[in-house]
Amino acid sequence: LQKSLKEIFGADKYSRARKEVLTYMFSRPMQMALYFCTGILKDETLFRHYALNVPLYTHFTSPIRRYADIVVHRLLSASLGVGSPIRMEKEDIQKQAEHCNDRKMASKRVQELSADLFFSIFVRVRA
């Protein structure tokens, strides 16, 4: 797929713009990852990562970046016995996860609308 896309992008003055537009269009339909509390969900098949093909998966980055990552770091530390115990019920953790999902989806929507606006302006200027 990557090789085919590289050929489509070309090497002319619009190749970079074509690459950005096509990459965006191909990645847009992908299902977005969601945060959830494992203590709430009983079906462990929901814990898998499709692309990596692993049955149990958790994702986090540096805890300075996002609140959700701070929560994951604290929960992971507590579960490994190296951090303070979490004083939240699983239902409260799930509510936090849902709030993070809502904010992430709202942010993604604004990003998509911004890209659509930029693309419209780009097409109008080039037409």
The pLDDT tens digits for 33-73 are: 788 888 888 888 888 887 788 888 887 777 677 888 888 88
Same structural domain for residues 51 and 107?
Answer: yes
Packed helices 90-126 and 15-27: angle between N→C axes, nearest 10 degrees: 150
Same structural domain for residues 19 and 41?
Answer: no
Q: Which residues contact 11 (CB under 8 A, 6 or more apart)?
A: none
Look-up of token digits 């713009």: 17
Same structural domain for residues 21 and 60?
Answer: no
Same structural domain for residues 14 and 66?
Answer: no
Same structural domain for residues 47 and 97?
Answer: yes
Same structural domain for residues 104 and 55?
Answer: yes
- Say which DSSP state 28 is in: T
For the chain, the maximum distance between any two Cα atoms, rounded to a whole number of angstroms, is 61
> Is the pTM value of this prediction over 0.75?
no
Number of domains in the chain: 2
Q: Which domain holds residue 43?
A: 34-126
Same structural domain for residues 25 and 41?
Answer: no
